[in-house]
Amino acid sequence: MTPLPPARLMRHWEARWESLPDNLRGAVWQVLSNLAFTMMAVMVKTVGQSMDSFEIAFFRCLFGLLLTLPFLMRAGRASFVTSRIGAHFSRAALGVAAMFCGFYALTHLPLAEATTISFTKTLFTIPLAVLVFGEAIRWRRWTATLVGLGGVVVILRPQGGEFDPAMLVALLAAALVAVVIMTIKSLAHSERASTILFYYGVFSTGVSLVPALLVWRTPVLEEYVALAGIAVLGVAGQFCNIRSYRLGEATAMAPFGYLRLIFAGFFGYILFAEVPDLWTWVGAAIIVSSTLYIAIQEARRKEAPAVTG
């Protein structure tokens, strides 16, 4: 049997891919997204053994800006026009603070534990949506939020067991991410996506440079490669996540986000010999259940405004 020419073979597989259901294709992108974000976390944790979190965050911002500039330039001059420069700066400062805390948590906590606590950003968005936008939240989502916070208490173990202050830093990172989400939501009413992306890249690089200089140590070649890899994986994860939600229904895509916890547990065990204890898994189950419920209810609310939770 004569093999197909490369161009024809490519068209054949593209046609096969396009023939698949949208939710299935979205799920594939979602798996790739979570794998990319987990590998980024692995590289942050690895580089964090020899570099300060401040410096890692600076290079993440710098390389991320360099990666997105070609796409921003193609979008045209409109990407650089804004009347809300202060809001863009605030979004960048909050994003950098969240990144600092998140990278510190990844470096000092087991991978699965840091990943689990990062999911609590969903819990913080409920009260913020009420305070910032005056949204009406029904009792079911308030109950899910309280249950999820109970899962946080289980992981933190304030009444006994081993407590690591880095857990509080991870929780702060999640809270800051929730604030960033609210800020982006506000900006999105008047700003282009490319404009938000451009000013975040510029301002975050400048803001993160200041604390990075206080702990500066010039990276060696291997560290530069790893730092560039962190940026590439971060951008790739965001790209795959966007593709996923463009193709699939939000309610169908939401559960796949928790694959990151499975990936984190696997890589944490294989690469760092980390074995989370029973209470971490119990807390993770509670947090995942509550945040998944909130995510699905939010997706249903957007798809059908009459459905509330």
Q: For the segment 255-292, what is each residue's pLDDT rounded down to a tens digit? A: 788 888 889 999 999 999 998 888 888 888 888 888 88
Question: 21 falls in which pLDDT band (50, 70, 90)?
Answer: confident
3-state secondary structure of 304: coil
d(C-alpha 40, C-alpha 34), whole Å? 10
Rounded mean pLDDT of 128-152? 77
Q: pLDDT tens across 75-88, in order? A: 777 778 888 899 99
Q: What are the structural domain ranges in the chain?
A: 28-303
Residues 6+ apart with CB under 8 A from 189: none
The pLDDT of residue 144 is: 82
Query: Is 107 exposed, middle or buried (CB count within 10 Å of its CB: 0-12, 13-18, 19+)?
Result: buried
**Cβ atoms of 126 and 142 closer than 8 Å:** yes
Angle formed by the axes of helices 53-75 and 221-247, to 10°?
50
Looking at every residue in the chain, the average pLDDT score rounds to: 84
Q: Is the pLDDT of residue 305 over 50?
A: no
Alpha helices by DSSP H, the chain: 6-19, 22-47, 53-75, 85-108, 111-118, 121-133, 139-156, 166-187, 193-214, 221-247, 250-253, 259-272, 278-303
Question: 7 falls in which pLDDT band (50, 70, 90)?
Answer: low
79-93, 152-166, 173-187: least confidently modelled range: 152-166
Q: Which one has a higher pLDDT value, 142 or 137?
A: 142
Tokens coding 24: 């299935």
The pLDDT of residue 161 is: 58
The pLDDT of residue 309 is: 35
**CA-wise closest residue to 36 among 257, 288, 294, 252:** 257
